[in-house]
Structure 1
Amino acid sequence: MPAITVDDLTVLDRLPAPGLGDQPRAVWQVTTAPEGLEGEGFPVRRAFAGIDLAQLDPFIMMDQMGEVDYAPGEPKGTPWHPHRGFETVTYIIDGVFDHQDSHGGGGSITNGDTQWMTAGAGILHIEAPPEWLVEKGGLFHGIQLWVNLPRDAKLNDPKYQDLRSGEVALVASSDAGALVRVIAGEVSGHHGPGSTFTPMTLVHATIEPGARLDLPWNVDFNALVYVLNGSGSVGTTEQPIHTGQAAVLGSGDYVTVTADGRQESRSPAMDVIVVGGRPIREPLAWAGPFVMNTKAEVMQAYEDFQRGHFGHIPA
């Protein structure tokens, strides 16, 4: 798993171990992601399917894209499509993905890079593998997270952020058994490069076999753990969890994830996404590519899209 890594974790700053009085977050629910196809036919796992939207708030959904090793001619993306009212966060672990939108944003991301698109009032965009990758084939693996926007930001101007892997904050667990990549938000004073309307933190952690990660977490945020690959347990009660499963955690000062001593041969360590944010606690009306507060606002989004108010597909 390329992403961004460090050969010697002992050279990194360490996260503090839980202190006296710090409370671990209990496990409320573990779910298993159903598998399906998205866009033009690339495989996804619906990471947060089965979790109540009230527990996900401020998030809407997350897809694990791949992990798949494409043969020549197989790589696929999405056609041009609209969005309004939220942000899409696309983090690529393996492979290459191109982005282009109707407001001039775009670029190519690869191992450990992130594209952060604020749809706001409305945008058209396309995500696809580059032509050379379609011809050659190769690995493809990443996630796309949908982050809700509060009512007063839903019609903000669209925005695009190109976050390179070298900008990600890297820190080790207290015993250097886990590498923590802070993509957005803050963990124990280490800040990720992503700029967010909704206060949140997004982390990708690699935990070595038998190691335990005690991850300090903002007490005002919810917390969700999703296993990209490998197996282990979550919480101090050691609730088992494995590839394609998500855990919803309760309140507390830190998140605990422990990797099993033996991992599957294709992934020598356990990789997890940990995400959390301050709940917005506003009404949610979600239909397809539009996430608003009322059904009338969703219908207005469809009307505005059909009238060409989201911009035009570049030549």
Structure 2
Amino acid sequence: MSRPRYQDTPSERIPEIETSDGKTKIRVIAGEVFGTKAVIETKIPILYYHFRMIPGADVTVPVPESYNAFVFPFSGDGTLYTEEGNTSLKEGEMVWFERGQGDVRFSLREDSPSDWQFLLIGGEPVDEPVARYGPFVMNTQEEISQAFYDFHAGKMGAIHS
């Protein structure tokens, strides 16, 4: 297992970029986009971006061909354009992309009644079996059993108040 690690990253340290037209702001939580790199270090390459678009905004974002990714709008509605066509995204609806998607375009109509906020999150698939139970995620049921044994035996450390 990997050793646990933690990074304390206050919100004000997360870089934010703005498109040249001023209609889209992107917080780069993990990964790199348009030459701006996140301050959070990840063990594996991922992207994690928070978009805020105002009416009339239109932006195309590169997604590495080897990544799976998803978009989750949490405020407002907008349109997503991919090689397969366009999709209207409503608040609370999630769209999933398989590997090989490439660039993704997001657009918010000029006459939209509100701004649009969403997350774009992605990374390379691990291509491993996944077993999960309770708080543990491993590759096999045997590893899950061992994790519970280690936990009950106190081998996972302690949090002291």
Query: What CA distance in whole angstroms lies between the structure 2 residues aligned with 1:285 and 1:295?
Result: 6
Whether 1:262 and 2:108 are equivalent positions in the alignment is no
CA drift at 1:249: 2.3
Query: What CA distance in whole angstroms lies between the structure 1 residues aligned with 2:127 and 2:91?
Result: 30
What are the ranges of 5 or more consecutive residues in structure 1 without an aligned counterpart? Answer: 1-154
Query: What CA distance in whole angstroms lies between the structure 1 residues aligned with 2:65 and 2:18?
Result: 21
CA drift at 1:177: 1.4
Whether 1:231 and 2:77 are equivalent positions in the alignment is yes
The alignment's TM-score, normalised by the length of structure 2, stands at: 0.88
Query: What CA distance in whole angstroms lies between the structure 2 residues aligned with 1:206 and 1:283?
Result: 35
Query: What CA distance in whole angstroms lies between the structure 1 residues aligned with 2:34 and 2:64?
Result: 9
What are the ranges of 5 or more consecutive residues in structure 2 without an aligned counterpart? Answer: none
Query: What CA distance in whole angstroms lies between the structure 1 residues aligned with 2:80 and 2:154?
Result: 47
Among 261, 264, 277, the residue aligned to 2:123: 277
Moved over 3 A (4+): none
Whether 1:173 and 2:19 are equivalent positions in the alignment is yes
Among 221, 230, 244, the residue aligned to 2:92: 244
3-state SS in 1 of match to 2:7? strand
CA drift at 1:213: 2.1
CA drift at 1:174: 4.8
Amino acid at match of 1:303: Y
Amino acid at match of 1:257: F
Amino acid at match of 1:272: F
Amino acid at match of 2:107: T
Amino acid at match of 1:285: A
Question: After the TM superposition, which residues 26-41 of structure 1 pair with which residues of structure 2 at under 5 Å, given as runs?
Answer: none
3-state SS in 2 of match to 1:183? strand
Whether 1:201 and 2:51 are equivalent positions in the alignment is no
Among 139, 144, 153, the residue aligned to 1:307: 153
Q: Deviations over 1:59-86 (max 9, x none)?
A: xxxxxxxxxxxxxxxxxxxxxxxxxxxx
* CA contact 1:187–1:217 (8 Å) conserved in 2: no
Query: What CA distance in whole angstroms lies between the structure 2 residues aligned with 1:272 and 1:289?
Result: 27
Query: What CA distance in whole angstroms lies between the structure 2 residues aligned with 1:176 and 1:283?
Result: 43
Question: After the TM superposition, which residues 10-159 of structure 1 pair with which residues of structure 2 at under 5 Å, given as runs?
Answer: 155-159=1-5
CA drift at 1:262: 2.3
The alignment's TM-score, normalised by the length of structure 1, stands at: 0.47
RMSD, matched Cα = 1.7
3-state SS in 2 of match to 1:299? helix
CA drift at 1:258: 1.7
Matched with 2:102 is 253
Aligned length, in residue pairs: 157
Give me the identity figure in percent: 32
3-state SS in 1 of match to 2:8? strand
CA shift in 2, pair 1:285/1:246, >3 Å: same
Query: What CA distance in whole angstroms lies between the structure 2 residues aligned with 1:244 and 1:281?
Result: 28
Matched with 1:115 is none
Matched with 1:293 is 139
Query: What CA distance in whole angstroms lies between the structure 2 residues aligned with 1:271 and 1:234?
Result: 13
